[in-house]
Homo-oligomer: A and B are copies of this chain.
Amino acid sequence: MNREDVPKNPRQARELFRAGAWTEPTTGIWVDFVNANLVAVPQAMAYEFLLFCQRNPKACPVLEVLDAGDPIVRRLAPGADVRTDIPRYRVFVDGVAVDEPTDVRDRWRDDLVAFLFGCSATFERAFEVAGIRPSWRLDGKRTPIYVSSIPCEPAGRMQGPMAVTMRPIPAHQVALAAAVTSRFPRHHGAPIHVGDPSAIGITDLSAPGWGGPVEIGPGEVPVFWACGVTPQLVAQQCKPEIMITQMPGHMFIADGLAAREGYD
- Answer yes or no: A46 CB below 8 A from chain B CBs: yes
Q: Identify which of B47, B55, B263 contacts A47 (C-beta below 8 A).
A: B47
CB distance from A254 to the nearest CB of B (A): 15
Residues of B within 8 A of A64 (CB): 55
Residues of B within 8 A of A62 (CB): 54
Proximity string of chain A (35-52) to chain B, C-beta cutoff 8 Å, 1 when within and 0 when not: 000000000001100110
Proximity string of chain A (131-163) to chain B, C-beta cutoff 8 Å, 1 when within and 0 when not: 000000000000000000000010010000000
- Answer yes or no: A95 CB below 8 A from chain B CBs: no
Could you say how many copies of this chain the assembly holds?
2
* B58–A264 CB distance below 8 A: yes
Known: A263-B182, A264-B189. A65 touches B54 (CB 8 A): yes
- Answer yes or no: A185 CB below 8 A from chain B CBs: yes
CB distance from A29 to the nearest CB of B (A): 28
Residues of B within 8 A of A190 (CB): 263-264
| Number of A interface residues in the complex (CB < 8 A) | 20
Proximity string of chain A (67-104) to chain B, C-beta cutoff 8 Å, 1 when within and 0 when not: 10000000100000000000000000000000000000
Known: A185-B185, A264-B189. A55 touches B65 (CB 8 A): yes
CB distance from A192 to the nearest CB of B (A): 9
Q: Identify which of B75, B185, B264 contacts A153 (C-beta below 8 A).
A: B75
* Complex alpha-carbon distance, A55 and B54, angstroms: 12
CB distance from A215 to the nearest CB of B (A): 30
CB distance from A173 to the nearest CB of B (A): 20
CB distance from A53 to the nearest CB of B (A): 8
Residues of B within 8 A of A153 (CB): 75
* Complex alpha-carbon distance, A51 and B68, angstroms: 11
Within 8 A of B (CB), among A166-219: 182, 185, 189-190
Which A residues fall within an 8 A CB radius of B? 46-47, 50-51, 54-55, 58, 62, 64-65, 67, 75, 153, 156, 182, 185, 189-190, 263-264
A-B residue pairs in contact (CB < 8 Å), sample of 16: A46-B47, A47-B47, A47-B50, A50-B50, A50-B51, A51-B65, A54-B54, A54-B62, A54-B65, A55-B64, A55-B65, A55-B75, A182-B263, A189-B264, A190-B263, A190-B264
